Amino acid sequence: MKLFDVYPLNPIEIVTASGSTVWDANGDEYLDLYGGHAVISIGHTHPHYVKRLTDQLNKVAFYSNSVIISLQQELAEKLGKLSGKSDFQLFLCNSGAEANENALKLASFYNNRKKIIAFKGGFHGRTSLAVAATDNPKIIAAVNQTDNVTFLPFNDEQALEDTFKAFGHEISSVIIEGIQGVGGIREASKSFLQKIRTLCDQYNAVYIADSVQCGYGRTGNFYAHDYAGIEADVYSMAKGMGNGFPIGAIAISPKFKPWHGELGTTFGGNHLACAAALAVLEVMEKDNLMKNAQEVGDYLISELKKFEKITDVRGRGLMIGIDLPDEYSHVKKDLLFKHRIFTGEAKPNVIRLLPALNITKAHADQFLEALSKELKA
Ligand SMILES: Cc1ncc(COP(=O)(O)O)c(C=O)c1O
């Protein structure tokens, strides 16, 4: 059987990894500033992570949600503490799309409404509702199409107000990334997020903070939305949560009262996934990784702003977008194949940095030096 060929691949096979270094099958070493797409949060093969997962694997890897899994409660407590939302409730699932799917469904159960507000440039995943709320017609199949989603321009407060005025009492939820990732590292303004909060309160709509990419400490805050000084009703998360072990979740405001059967999953919250997620939070707390993300991120952003050829630098913490002029469209590939540095990309010609939260200033300097060579060339 062949693989279903949906991914454009770089001709590199990574066979070992440690921290922010990965090695390919030829033994060549790379600096990983991509983190496998914002997934590697505490570094590859972190010893505490490996030990916690190995120990768990030797005890029990999986049992279904028909029995008590105390690791889930342990995870909920730790996550509540680190995110500053101890009064929220946790529902565990397996991916970012599934987290958003459940968030949108939960909102609709809550207010018994159908309409969703999403934003141009947004990405929320590839399952039915999550993809319908994603601004990319190419990945929305006919079966996913729905009139229930309205796309508004990002950061346009007037359009938001007008929409709520027109049919606010039909709106079930507003879903928004604190910083658009796939959309090219575009930050929601503080006042825009505050406006969403106010209008959702006024119309009893649910504010869903998609934190799948911008959350989990990446920006220096636990959730990127925290920056605006507001609290969402539901936070979805996934990528950095398991440092590569598939796990997703929604953190749910206390105002939602659950009922048995409302949400569910076979694999979500299994023993191994919880052990992985706990190991991540333990390392984040012990090594103060949110602070590191902010400090190294601030350093990178301020240094990048000094480059003449870079047309814009956006983002916060370790979620950084670098705009390059068209004639430098080769730079991302050159960083990978000449300098052996993994970075991410977004269209048009944006380099995305999404490294582990414990990268060092020396890693940042290695990247800045390579970029400087490419932009001089
Ligand atoms: C903001 C955001 N939401 C949701 C998703 C979907 O996550 P997953 O690929 O785990 O389903 C992604 C993935 O890139 C994302 O960036």
The rounded distance, in Å, linking the Cα atoms of 307 and 302 is: 10
HSE, side-chain direction, 13 A CA sphere, residue 347: 3
Domains in the chain: ranges and CATH: 47-286 (3.40.640.10)
| Predicted pLDDT of residue 348 | 83
| Predicted pLDDT of residue 347 | 83
Q: Locate 67 and state its tokens.
A: 């029995």
Residues near 169 by beta carbon (within 8 Å), at least 6 away in sequence: 113, 203
The DSSP line for 27-82 is --EEEESSHHHHT-SS-BT-HHHHHHHHHHHHH-S---TTS--HHHHHHHHHHHHH
The stretches of 287-322 forming alpha helices (DSSP H) are 289-304
Mutate to test the pocket of ligand 1, among 179, 213, 265 (most ligand atoms within 8 A of CB): 213
| Predicted pLDDT of residue 79 | 98
Q: Per-residue confidence of the chain (377 residues) as pLDDT tens digits?
A: 999 999 999 999 999 999 999 999 999 999 999 999 999 999 999 999 999 999 999 999 999 999 999 999 999 999 999 999 999 999 999 999 999 999 999 999 999 999 999 999 999 999 999 999 999 999 999 999 999 999 999 999 999 999 999 999 999 999 999 999 999 999 999 999 999 999 999 999 999 999 999 999 999 999 999 999 999 999 999 999 999 999 999 999 999 999 999 999 999 999 999 999 999 999 999 999 999 999 999 999 999 999 999 999 999 999 999 999 999 999 999 999 999 999 999 988 999 999 999 999 999 999 999 999 999 86
Q: Which atom of ligand 1 is nearest to the CA of 126?
A: 11
| Predicted pLDDT of residue 155 | 98
| Predicted pLDDT of residue 24 | 98
Distance 183 CA to ligand 1 centre (A): 12
Name the residue with the closest Cα to ligand 1, atom 7.
96
Mutate to test the pocket of ligand 1, among 92, 139, 223, 239 (most ligand atoms within 8 A of CB): 239
The rounded distance, in Å, linking the Cα atoms of 175 and 178 is: 10
Q: Which atom of ligand 1 is nearest to the CA of 100?
A: 4
The rounded distance, in Å, linking the Cα atoms of 274 and 257 is: 23
Distance 110 CA to ligand 1 centre (A): 24
Mutate to test the pocket of ligand 1, among 41, 212, 243 (most ligand atoms within 8 A of CB): 212
**Contact between 14 and 24 (Cβ < 8 Å):** yes
Binding-site residues, ligand 1, Cβ < 6 A: 95-97, 100, 123-125, 177, 181-182, 210, 212-213, 238
Question: Going edge to edge, which strands form the sheet with 89-93?
Answer: 89-93, 248-252, 234-237, 206-210, 171-177, 115-119, 149-152
**Contact between 310 and 375 (Cβ < 8 Å):** yes
Mutate to test the pocket of ligand 1, among 41, 98, 123 (most ligand atoms within 8 A of CB): 123
The pTM of the full predicted model, rounded to 2 decimals, is 0.98
Distance 43 CA to ligand 1 centre (A): 20
Sign of CA dihedral 51, 57, 62, 65: negative
Distance 31 CA to ligand 1 centre (A): 23
**How many C-beta atoms surround the C-beta of residue 61 within 10 A?**
13
Q: Which atom of ligand 1 is nearest to the CA of 37?
A: 14
